Copies of this chain bind each other. A is one copy, B any other.
Amino acid sequence: MQIDEIMQRAAAAFEEYRHITPANRAAFLETIAAEINARREALIAIAHTESNLPVARLNGEITRTTSQLQLFATVLQEGSWVEAVIDTARPDNTPARPDIRRMLLPVGPVVVFGASNFPFAFSTAGGDTASALAAGATVVIKGHPAHPGTSQLVFEAITAAISKSGMPAHTVQHVTGEGNAVGKELVMHPLTTGVGFTGSFQGGTALLNYAAQREVPIPVFAEMSSINPVVFYPDALATQAAQLAQTFAASVTLGMGQFCTNPGILIGLKSEALEDFVTQLGTAIAAVAPQKMLHKGICEAYEKGRTRILQEKEVALVNESTAPAELEAWPVLARTTAAAFLVNPALKEELFGPYSLLVECADKTELIAVLKSLHGQLTTTIVGTQADTTQWKDVIAIQSTLAGRVILNNPPTGVEVCAAMVHGGPYPATTDARFTSVGTSAIRRWVRPVCFQNFTDDMLPDALKAANPLGIWRQVDNQFVR
């Protein structure tokens, strides 16, 4: 089918879907979750074949995916997400102030690109799709070519839910195919009103460039590239080296490092405690058994990248796991100095896999220079005791500006799906630091505010009617009330 026909259908479906009540949209999301659950075994089997991911992980990821759909259903049922703001009329003002009421409304059909590293949670029925459908947008999914069968089966679950819930037939559509041509056509189509993407820097910036060529600009939410710097402050290293080595070895190698929140750079001040920590961390990382990566392309890129980095000037291998079998990645810890890191841009690039680079700083000045040299990040982690956070307050203040999520004494892997989550950050972590792709506020990517002036109550959307029939939280004359 032609992309034009698909987008025409998505736009026509939007004209119906946008009028469907929040309660019915919620029921639709819950039905998608149920249909995915009904196919759980088949989904795990095919995803395991296509992605090499362990069965237990895939099972957990399906649960995360269905939970996300259910979470957005509860967001719709609760209803306050529309950010209703009401300024009532003030006829005695000069000039008289009319009644003005604002809420968020969906933008139109959006295009979602599935990610390779999360065949469920960031793919066909993942967070982008769930948040867009919750917002009232219709969705065209470009399935990831690394797991076409998984994507197709998830789409069948969505199709079944569309049918059972009585939604417009083309509320969600599925497009497959290798290469960039289809993606380009989808992003550039005049009826497309937004784009969601999780993947590589190259992929995300390509979509951004296509969007820049459009006659009418649209937002592109691409979550792309992050090395998630962790700073180990001195007192923590001196007192917790063994525990930290275990925690961060697990974080670096979790899922063979195939997470966008993988801690790719570990920063510390030159000291004996740092040497102790590095030795223990290297040993712990080397003890992790190699596992298969998602697909051949990712594995080859990891092998090449690892070889290239270890050949860079002043980069040394600390420790690594045993030699891997085919498609397997072996966990690696490398190290370098701040001086080398500061002059070599190659060391700041993300290497997707179970790898991390320790950067040793001679002093506070170097530590600050390293932090200031970093690009925008999804996360940054402060590892420090109370003594550290007091002593290094100024450095922590600089570190805290790097990312969308600033973490104290937790590994960055593991992204809670909750209201306060920001899974986003300054470029190149994402193309738009003002939004998150995980958590309930991900819904804001697919809406725009509209205000209604001097409307009669019967003409207003329910969310803005005087009696508040939906019982939602609203800001009325600058007070939050329900």
Contacts and interface: CB of A to CB of B under 8 A. Distances in A.
Interface stretch (A41-49, A111-119, A121-129, A415-423): A415-423
A449 B97 contact: no
Interface string A421-435: 110101110011110
A98 to B, nearest CB: 6
Contacts of A107: 433
Contacts of A173: none
A208 interface: yes
Interface in A436-453: 436, 441, 447-453
A323 interface: no
A365 interface: no
Interface string A385-402: 010010000001000100
A102 B478 contact: no
B97 A454 contact: no
B450 A405 contact: yes
A343 interface: no
Most B-side CB within 10 Å, residue of A427, A448, A453: A453
A410 B217 contact: no
B404 A453 contact: no
Contacts of A433: 107, 448
Contacts of A432: 217, 219
B448 A97 contact: no
Nearest to A461: B400
B449 A404 contact: yes
Contacts of A95: 414
A478 B434 contact: no
A453 B228 CA distance: 14
Contact of A408 (B80, B455, B473): B455
Size category of the binding interface on chain A: 35 or more
Contacts of A482: 480
Contacts of A427: 216-217
A217 B473 CA distance: 35
B454 A436 contact: no
A97 B418 contact: yes
A98 B416 CA distance: 8
Contact of A420 (B100, B422, B431): B100
A409 to B, nearest CB: 6
Interface in A53-109: 78, 80, 85-87, 95, 97-98, 100-102, 107
Contacts of A100: 416, 418, 420-421
Given A419-B478, A420-B451, 16 more contacts: A80-B480, A85-B420, A87-B418, A87-B419, A87-B420, A100-B420, A219-B434, A404-B448, A405-B450, A405-B451, A407-B453, A408-B452, A408-B453, A408-B456, A422-B449, A434-B449
12 contacts: A86-B420, A87-B418, A98-B410, A216-B376, A389-B459, A405-B453, A406-B455, A407-B454, A408-B456, A410-B454, A421-B451, A436-B449
Shortest 10 CB-CB contacts between residues of A and residues of B = A422-B451, A102-B420, A212-B212, A100-B420, A85-B420, A407-B453, A87-B418, A433-B448, A87-B420, A410-B454
